[in-house]
Structure 1
Amino acid sequence: MDFVFSSTISTACQDFNLSFIGQQDRNLTSPSPHNPPNFGLSYFTMSFGILSNLIGLAIVLASYARFHHRAKTPFLLLAAALLLSDLAGHLVTGALALHLHLGRVRRQRAASREPSEPPQAFCKLFGACMVFFGLTPLLLGSAMAVERCMGITQPLQHSAMATTAHVRLSVLLLITMAFTLAALPLLNIGTYEPQFPGTWCFLPVHGALSSADAGLALAFSSVGLSALTVSVLCNAVSGMTLLQARFNNQSAKLTASRRRRSSRSPVHSLDVEMMVQLVVITIVSSVCWSPFLIYISMSVRQFYRGETHSDPHYEQLLLLGLRMASWNQILDPWVYILLRRAVLRRVCSLLRPSRVILTQSNSCGSSERQEIHLH
């Protein structure tokens, strides 16, 4: 749900939805036509998210074309796929959300009292996009963590297995998995329904559910939480391995240490840079997505326990979780924009102005001293 839910751009619906929560009754009656929703912040959020993903994608592609380092190529391919999915989520789900909201505005201005729920076909398309663009970034993020863990802990196997063809095949398999789950309700296995306050569509997660609906919702949350768990575990193993290698290097003899740094420092520097980016991506995804995924899992388990009542507070909590998840796609690209070696090197020089010329052994240093003079 990177829901992205990014998508959701749903953030794009934030102002409109908030006005509805305070004014709507349980029949989703339209608010007063004299108080149309303000879309200024929504348009800004959508535009900012698209621009951020474009900048992040440009940086990743420029890095791939400029360095084309063997150790970094698989990571960059997965990062590009992640940012592309974020961008597509913003564009597709954002367009669907805005179409739905603009239809509500037209009904408000016409003082229409007709039901505001979207057509069934439209709701199915909207819901499928929400599921697909929600799961895809989470799965790609876990694939990035696995790739880095293998590259750091098993470099020889990584060189043999993490080829460009294998990475592309992995991306295709993950996308297929997300697409299959999203397409099942389109084949009448489960349903997509309008969600409170009638401005977005998703799998039903509370109330009287069918077995198919409960199974799909539980599968969605389980896949998402599993992807986050794999990312956290792999990042922990990779981080511990890098720390152990650093301590071993410090305790080695000076001559041997110099030889290792002269032959392996570029790869080690790349490992640290990619790990920092990946850890921040995992933290952002966990903070944004965990509330939404955990809430879905808890709601479905209540259904299995026989509790089928629908509380209005549950619907508002689901909407709040969705809005949190929608920020994941906006924040992801800024990891690549800000956490680059050039940016970190400049920050280090600002924090430590007395040591602008850094040696190769410095933790904030560069392997080429001339680059520091240029800053």
Structure 2
Amino acid sequence: TGRAAERGSAVSVAIPLTMMLTGVVGNALAMLLVSRSYRAKGSRRKRSFLLCIGSLALTDMLGQLLTSPIVISVYLSGRPWASMDPSGRLCDFFGFSMTVFGLCPLLIASAMAVERALAIRAPHWYASHMSPRATERGLAAIWAAGVAFALLPLAGLGRYALQWPGTWCFISTAGRSAFAAAFAALGLLSLVVTGACNLATIGALVARCRAKAGGTGPGSRWGRITTETLLQLLGIMCVLSGCWSPLLVTMLRVVSEQAAGPRRAEPPRRELLQECDLSLTAVRLASLNQILDPWVYLLLRRILLRRLCQAASAVSRCSNAECKDRAIALTLSEEIRRTAA
């Protein structure tokens, strides 16, 4: 009825509105922390990594600011997309923005994984070849590649189409779309590169930690740094894979089914609605990555490290207190035995 429709519309508006606000706040905080760390005197060695994090936060925030207000306005108006965009230009702009700000963060995450792997496994080459200027050129190349790829539909290679429930536009997967297959393949390749480089970094860190532990140097501090880095890298891989794999795999599956030929019989309406719901959930998961990126890469790491350090210090204090209590108890028991003897 009317009240049920209003409640459903309110819930639908609440999802993109909440995602936009949390994403903008998180990415703005990340950019603020990056700018402060970048201006610090002792951050010259970290400037390449900070540039990557700052560009990732900026890309995620721009993507949310360009797409989320359109979705919210469509929900609030209650009008169909065709009446708001009869020329289809807004749909093309929305699909272009989704493609650029979906592909660029994946490529930037891959570049960051490669940068970390080189810094750990080839430190001499990294120190002599990597610089903030080279990082800026690499980031500019990534953005240029993302924009050029998203402009391919203007040249007739692929197209953007309205997606269910009629509040957003993205790459069309109908008609054996090579453009959709290319986007999904590039996204999955970025995930594979990110995972492989992070695993290589983890392996090098574990080997170096074992070498430090076996030597005479201070291995406890190195072990703590290694554990913190391992947890962060594992978190990055889990977030990226969990957010992007459903959408990319779904796109490849739909394109492959289209390439295999038309179906013999149309699926029932209930099955079509389930597929549409799955696609919408996959897109929302991919959009969730823009919210989680600053927390995984920067904000959550600082908060967690403070909590972990506080917990570790508290545990060490408690253990020291327990040792003191045990020593006092032993001395008292020895004195009691002596007096009894």
Range of TM-score over shorter length: 0.7 to 0.9
* Structure 2 residue aligned with 1:307: 262
* Structure 2 residue aligned with 1:12: none
How far off its partner does 1:45 sit? 2.8
CA distance, structure 2, for counterparts of residue 99 and residue 181 of structure 1: 28
Pick the aligned partner of 1:56 from 24, 30, 37.
Answer: 30
Structure 2 SS opposite 1:193? strand
CA distance, structure 1, for counterparts of residue 228 and residue 81 of structure 2: 55
Whether the 8 Å CA contact 1:57–1:80 is kept in 2: the answer is yes
How far off its partner does 1:351 sit? 4.7
Whether the 8 Å CA contact 1:117–1:194 is kept in 2: the answer is no
How far off its partner does 1:40 sit? 4.0
Correspondence 1:45 to 2:13: no
Give deviations 1:302-348, integer Å, cap 9, x for gaps.
112113567443322211111111111111111211202x7514423
Whether the 8 Å CA contact 2:19–2:288 is kept in 1: the answer is no
List gaps (5 residues or longer) in structure 1: 1-22, 24-29, 108-112, 358-375
* Structure 1 residue aligned with 2:74: 100
- 1:210-249 aligned within 5 A: 211=176, 214-249=177-212
Correspondence 1:69 to 2:71: no
CA distance, structure 2, for counterparts of residue 33 and residue 243 of structure 1: 55
Whether the 8 Å CA contact 1:295–1:318 is kept in 2: the answer is yes
Higher RCO (C-alpha 8 Å, min separation 6):
1
- Aligned-CA RMSD value: 3.0
Whether the 8 Å CA contact 2:16–2:68 is kept in 1: the answer is no
Correspondence 1:319 to 2:280: yes
* Structure 1 residue aligned with 2:244: 289
Correspondence 1:167 to 2:135: yes
- 1:354-369 aligned within 5 A: 354-355=315-316
CA distance, structure 1, for counterparts of residue 241 and residue 294 of structure 2: 16
Structure 1 SS opposite 2:9? coil
Q: Which is higher, the Rg of structure 1 or of structure 2?
A: 2
User: Residue 158 and residue 324 in structure 1: after superposition, are their counterparts in 2 closer, same or farther (change >3 A)?
Assistant: same
Structure 2 SS opposite 1:201? strand
How far off its partner does 1:33 sit? 7.5
CA distance, structure 2, for counterparts of residue 271 and residue 350 of structure 1: 18
User: Residue 134 and residue 115 in structure 1: after superposition, are their counterparts in 2 closer, same or farther (change >3 A)?
Assistant: closer
* Structure 1 residue aligned with 2:337: none
Q: What one-letter code is carried by the residue in structure 2 that aligns with 1:231?
A: T
How far off its partner does 1:125 sit? 0.5
Aligned pairs, number: 309
Pick the structure with more helix per residue: 2
Give deviations 1:16-67, integer Å, cap 9, x for gaps.
xxxxxxx9xxxxxx99986672134542332121111111221222222225
How far off its partner does 1:94 sit? 1.2
Identity between Structure 1 and Structure 2 (%):
31
Structure 2 SS opposite 1:71? coil
Give deviations 1:231-289, integer Å, cap 9, x for gaps.
0000000001010001111122x2xx25xx79xx79x9777655643442232111011
Structure 2 SS opposite 1:95? helix
* Structure 2 residue aligned with 1:150: 118
- 1:253-264 aligned within 5 A: 254=216, 257-258=217-218
Correspondence 1:135 to 2:103: yes
Whether the 8 Å CA contact 1:149–1:238 is kept in 2: the answer is yes
Correspondence 1:251 to 2:214: yes
Structure 2 SS opposite 1:205? coil
User: Residue 319 and residue 72 in structure 1: after superposition, are their counterparts in 2 closer, same or farther (change >3 A)?
Assistant: same
User: Residue 350 and residue 181 in structure 1: after superposition, are their counterparts in 2 closer, same or farther (change >3 A)?
Assistant: same
- 1:78-117 aligned within 5 A: 78-103=52-77, 105=78, 107=79
Q: What one-letter code is carried by the residue in structure 2 that aligns with 1:236?
A: L
* Structure 2 residue aligned with 1:370: none
Q: TM-score, normalised by structure 2?
A: 0.81
Q: TM-score, normalised by structure 1?
A: 0.74
Q: What one-letter code is carried by the residue in structure 2 that aligns with 1:92?
A: L
Whether the 8 Å CA contact 1:232–1:282 is kept in 2: the answer is yes
